[in-house]
Chain A
Amino acid sequence: MTSDASSPLFHDPGECGLHFFGAVSASISHELKNALAIINEHAGLLEDLSALAERGRPVDPQRLQKVSANIARQVQRADGIIRNMNRFAHSIDAPVNTVDVPDILRFVAGLTERKATMAGVVLNVVPETAPFSAQTRPFFLLNLLWICLKALIEAIPSGSAIQMGVTAEGHHATVWLHGGQAQALPDIHKNAIQQAAMLIPMLGAEVRVNDETGNIEIRIPKTICGA
């Protein structure tokens, strides 16, 4: 494996975490720019329609209502993006904290959604009824899950779907990622392991490929020893 922009190797967890923080922030800022651009165009259209009305061309009230509803929708969208950004920023407030693993997985899926869309990949988190709390390093757990999911997104063909879920057994939860027709699971696994080399021991986690199911599995302990 080479160390390029899409699969960097890091010297320490801080460097890996900063890369993660930068990548997510860039994606969020891009999403916000899109929402703002749409609001900008709709505001401009209202201005155009007003100018036409001043010159005597009637404006359909339903047209105005539609533009207004679209602006409101984009404001909601931007608000959701900012809420995600805020939650992400606060994930490093406490080095060690108790988290709900299925909730963390849904959050990572949300953070990665734009990347998946760009690759033509759909992300599905299967319904999880049993919550599993783990005392862990939330930011670095997000980082590890993001690396594994990103590696799978980059490796599978456009038009594929990734199924994700959590199973719990005793003192461990296993986050599994299934990429359908993923052809090169060992390579994806190796790539993810290399990128996450610094994170796996500090989380007490394991990353492996399940030969029977074809799943990438990230095993997370209920507590970190020595935390």
Chain B
Amino acid sequence: MNVLLVDDEDQLVSTLAERLQLRGIEASWVTRAEDAILLVKAREFDVAVLDVKLPKIGGIELKRKLQAIRPGMKFLFMTGHGSREDYDAGSREAGEGNYLVKPVKIEELLDHLFALVGPETKA
């Protein structure tokens, strides 16, 4: 599985990427939406995990841009913002339940990733 992590908290995404890599998942990370767009243009990812509240371009807008580049890509939102409105908006965009509130247990994240991408990609 090839995962892209996008969050403006660099210590969060870099550590999470390292933990996914320890579990045999290929994980890349960026802290800016603009960099995510460039990376997705250059490479294919199975799934992107996006923060909802990203600077300049929000996570939902970024998801739409990435999906336009790679229509087959899957998405999962991860946020520290727990309002009902945000949950509903995120679920509408990425599918019911694909909206995780920080802090997230890695087992829970892995369950969501495999549910989105399929068990055949398990290491």
Contacts and interface: CB of A to CB of B under 8 A. Distances in A.
A120 B55 contact: yes
A36 B102 contact: yes
A33 B103 contact: yes
B2 to A, nearest CB: 20
A69 to B, nearest CB: 11
A67 B15 CA distance: 9
Contacts of A31: 80
A181 interface: no
A41 B78 CA distance: 14
A37 B80 contact: yes
A172 to B, nearest CB: 36
Contact of A40 (B55, B56, B103): B103
Interface string B66-92: 000000000000001111000000000
Nearest to B101: A33
B15 A38 contact: yes
B12 A117 contact: no
Nearest to A118: B55
A48 B16 CA distance: 11
Contacts of B16: 41
Interface string A45-62: 100100010000000000
B119 to A, nearest CB: 22
Given A30-B81, A37-B80, A37-B103, A42 B55 contact: no
B53 A41 contact: no
Contact of B102 (A26, A34, A44, A45): A34
Interface string A88-127: 0000000000000000000000000000011110000000
A29 B53 CA distance: 13
A38 B19 contact: no
A117 B9 contact: no
* A26, A44, A48 pick with most chain B CB within 10 angstroms: A44
B80 A44 contact: no
A29 B83 CA distance: 11
Contacts of A119: 55-56
A49 to B, nearest CB: 8
Given A48-B19, A117-B55, A158-B56, A34 B9 contact: yes
Contact of A36 (B19, B22, B55, B103): B103
B22 A34 contact: no
B53 A118 contact: yes
Contacts of B53: 30, 118
B19 A45 contact: yes
Contacts of B101: 33
Interface string B42-68: 000000000001111000000000000
Interface in B1-47: 8-9, 11-12, 15-16, 18-19, 22
Interface of B: 8-9, 11-12, 15-16, 18-19, 22, 53-56, 80-83, 101-104, 106
Given A67-B15, A74-B11, 11 more contacts: A33-B103, A34-B9, A34-B102, A37-B9, A41-B16, A41-B103, A70-B11, A117-B55, A118-B53, A118-B55, A120-B55
27 contacts: A26-B83, A29-B80, A30-B53, A30-B81, A33-B80, A33-B101, A34-B12, A36-B103, A37-B12, A37-B80, A38-B9, A38-B15, A39-B103, A40-B102, A41-B12, A41-B16, A41-B19, A44-B15, A45-B15, A45-B19, A48-B22, A67-B15, A70-B15, A118-B53, A118-B55, A118-B56, A119-B55
